[in-house]
Amino acid sequence: MSINKKRFLNHVLSSRDFILDLIFPIECLGCGTEGVWLCKDCFRQLPIRTKQYCLNCKKPNEFGEFCPDCAPAYALDGVWIAGDYENKIIASLIKNLKYHFARDLAEILGQFLILFLRNLINKGRIGKTDLGIGINEEKIEKIKKTPEIIFDFKNCLLIPVPLHKKRERWRGFNQVLAIAKTIATHFNLELSTGLIRLKHRPPQAKLSEAKRKRNLRNCFAWTGASLANRRVILVDDVVTTGSTLNECAKILKQAGASEVWGLVAAKG
Ligand SMILES: [Zn+2]
Ligand SMILES: [Zn+2]
């Protein structure tokens, strides 16, 4: 197929949902109801993770931060994992997002991440009623353990992990950017696309850990304004070892970011 024809087809596929429906008749991934990727009832039943862990050693914690033993090896401060890949619906949402040109799927995953973030922020909040009874050691401990980005959530910057332009053109749109936009709109957060991917590399999933790291070196660049003292949430669909998120975090910290946290729908 010529590039122009392919581009035209991509354009049609990504912009006209009704044509898309003719080619891939959609039905709820949970219960089979026709015409939607996920019906409201099945969406409500998606389990949201309430506990997190250190991505490297899997030690459980509240906010997904790297534990003191593992943190020195990472530029990334931690990773927030909203759902479980073991959940059949979450896994198929993510797989379909990768292989179809469907903005609706990005919207659903965006809404799921919004629910997750609301839980996460609430967990860090010390309610007025709590303070009414006075401050005690337990509450001070809770405040100490809560990352600053949780208290300063409304000022943080959302950055989607970039796709290479070639891939984006092939796919018709960047699904991670679409997810990040949904979140940014909901919380009224600033969103930046200043992080770009420089080289077209083979997909990470097929590579060993060592090759993944080599594959990522010099792969990203920051093209936006200084990030001095900015707290950043780096959005991606899934995390595996965290090497992509960490490589992005390195670049963002070189640009001045004070904290960089990953936010993903699941761990693949
Ligand atoms: Zn359903
Ligand atoms: Zn650890």
Domain count, the chain: 1
Q: What is the Å distance from ligand 1's center to 108 Cα?
A: 13
Buried b or exposed e, range 69-81, using 16+ CB within 10 angstroms:
eeeeebbbbbbbb
Phi first, then psi: what are they for 174, rounded to 5°?
-90, 110
Task: Indicate which ligand has the atom closest to the C-alpha of 31.
Answer: 1
Percent of the chain with pLDDT over 90: 63
Q: Is residue 191 part of a domain?
A: yes
Distance 150 CA to ligand 2 centre (A): 20
Q: Tell how far the Cα of 112 is from the centroid of ligand 1, in angstroms.
A: 15
Tell me the pTM. 0.84
Q: How confident is the model at residue 73 (pLDDT cuts 50, 70, 90)?
A: very high
Q: How far is ligand 1, taken at its centre, from the CA of residue 103, in Å? A: 18
* Per-residue pLDDT at 129 exceeds 70: no
> In this predicted structure, which of 137-146, 161-170, 220-229 has the lowest mean pLDDT?
161-170
Asked whether the predicted pLDDT for residue 165 surpasses 70, the reply is no
Nearest to 80 by CA among 57, 63, 59: 63
Ligand nearest to the CA of 71: 2
Residue 38 is assigned to a structural domain of this protein:
no
In this predicted model, what pLDDT tens digit does every residue of 85-119 receive, in sequence order?
Answer: 999 999 999 988 877 767 889 999 999 999 999 99
Answer yes or no: is 30 within a domain.
no
* Measured distance CA(150)–CA(83) in Å, rounded: 19
* 25 within some domain: no
The helix/strand/coil state of 57 is coil
15, part of any domain: no
Q: Is 184 a domain residue?
A: yes
Which ligand ends up closest to the CA of 108?
Answer: 1
The answer on pLDDT for 33 being more than 80 is: yes
Rounded CA-CA distance 8/191 in Å is 29
Does residue 1 belong to any structural domain of this protein?
no
Domain encompassing residue 67: 49-267
Instruction: Kindly state the tokens that stand for 241.
Output: 């070892």
Q: Which CATH number does the domain housing residue 155 bear? A: 3.40.50
Contact 115, 45 (CB under 8 A): no
pLDDT band for position 142 (50/70/90)? confident
Is 12 or 88 the better-scoring residue by pLDDT? 88
State percent of the chain over pLDDT 70. 79
Residue 172: the pLDDT is 59
Average pLDDT, the chain: 86
Collect all residues with Cβ–Cβ distance below 8 Å to 21 and sequence separation of at least 6.
35
Residue 94 lies in a domain: yes
In the reported structure, the alpha carbon of residue 54 is separated from the centroid of ligand 2 by a whole-number distance in angstroms of 5
What are the helix and strand counts (H, E) for the chain? 12, 10
Which one is predicted more confidently, 135 or 114? 114
- 168, 201 in Cβ contact below 8 A? no
